Amino acid sequence: MIKVIASDLDGTLLNEEHRISERTIKAVKRAQEEGICFIAATGRGYKEAELVLGAAGIRCGKIVTSGSEVRDASDKIIKTIAMEKEAAAKILEISEKAGIAAYIFTDELDGVIGTAKEVEDFLVAQIQTFHLNGTKEEILKTPVFEEYKKTTNVIPDKEKILKSNRSIYKIFLFSTNLEIIENIKKEVERIPDIASAASSLDNVEITSVQAQKGPVLKWYIESMGYCMDEVMVLGDSLNDYSMLSMNFGACVAMENAVESLKDIAPYRAPSNKEDGAAYAIEKVLEGKLEELRADKIV
């Protein structure tokens, strides 16, 4: 019997407009009303996760920054996993040589490290991915860019952070030049005690090897008294692999998921454009989980 539902956000719980649909909100809240524990597991930082969950009125436990931080439903921090400063320094050196900005998540401040041009390129690329279509020149003239520029912390001195007492949870690297990202991934793999994943082909998310969604979710649910076979997990991208590859009760890949997730997940849900997460939750509530079996989908 499923007693816990853990879902990724972007590409899974969120639709193509990066919002939680009314149908999905109703499904999550109904599950919670019926005693099911709902957990959001995301690569986003806490503030970015709360933007969409709060707007939907969903209060739940959260695994954020790809597993580096866990918060309970009251938003109290109950676990953090930082990466070694030496590893962080090597990653920032790699991004600097590649000529791209690095978004760094810490216990006190999240922000972008890079030159003015690198930061500008980073913000434009983020807007193109999550908000607007258009060229760089067009994006630079929009109110969305001005808002991003105003609200994004720019960290001018990486050495200050590396030498401080701040804990570094995650480093996010993004480039529309896929060759740069592929080269970075190869270099990052040589660094010991870190894990790298991605939410799409144009980025890489780097954390401590202990800070991955799957193992952290296992710790979280067991700390609340649940067993792995009582958990359904939903995801779509490579940073969900650690969840869907573990022996949870029902591992569900979205129809829009990368092929490597579809290859390992026994269960399948419609795409996020079709409210697939809501559909999967509804099937659990109806006692029809087995209808999601991938081998039953024609």
- What is the CATH superfamily name and number for domain 4-81+211-296? HAD superfamily/HAD-like (3.40.50.1000)
Task: Work out the burial of residue 46: count CB atoms within 10 Å of its CB; fewer than 13 is exposed, 13-18 middle, 19 or more buried.
Answer: middle
Structure tokens at 41: 């597991």
Q: 3.30.930.10, 3.40.50.360, 3.30.1240.10, 3.40.50.300: which CATH number matches 85-208?
A: 3.30.1240.10
The position carrying tokens 């990653």 is 91
Q: Would you state the pLDDT for residue 298? A: 43
Domains of the chain, by residue range, sit at 4-81+211-296, 85-208
The position carrying tokens 């978004």 is 103
Please report the beta strands in 155-298, taking only residues with DSSP state E, as ranges in sequence order: 168-174, 194-197, 203-208, 231-235, 250-254, 267-269
Q: Which of 56-65, 154-163, 171-180 has the highest mean pLDDT?
A: 56-65
pLDDT digits (tens, 9 = 90+) for 42-69: 998 898 899 899 999 999 999 999 999 9
| 3-state SS assignment for residue 104 | strand
Instruction: Output the CA torsion sign for 33, 245, 46, 23.
Output: negative
Is it the case that residue 242 has pLDDT exceeding 90? yes
pLDDT digits (tens, 9 = 90+) for 115-155: 888 888 888 887 877 677 778 888 888 888 888 888 888 88
Is it the case that residue 268 has pLDDT exceeding 70? yes
Q: Would you state the pLDDT for residue 159? A: 87
Q: What is the mean pLDDT of the chain?
A: 92
Is it the case that residue 235 has pLDDT exceeding 60? yes
pLDDT band at 9 (very low <50, low <70, confident <90, very high): very high
For residues 260 and 163, what is the distance between their CA atoms, to the nearest angstrom? 39
Please report the beta strands in the chain, taking only residues with DSSP state E, as ranges in sequence order: 4-7, 37-41, 61-64, 69-71, 77-80, 102-106, 111-113, 168-174, 194-197, 203-208, 231-235, 250-254, 267-269
For residues 190 and 200, what is the distance between their CA atoms, to the nearest angstrom? 21
pLDDT digits (tens, 9 = 90+) for 196-214: 988 778 889 999 999 999 9
**Mean pLDDT across the stretch 14-34?**
96
Please give the residue that has the higher pLDDT: either 134 or 235: 235
Q: Would you state the pLDDT for residue 296? A: 64
Q: Would you state the pLDDT for residue 118? A: 86
Q: Would you state the pLDDT for residue 297? A: 56
**Mean pLDDT across the stretch 209-234?**
98
Q: Would you state the pLDDT for residue 61? A: 98
Instruction: Output the CA torsion sign for 212, 214, 215, 216.
Output: positive
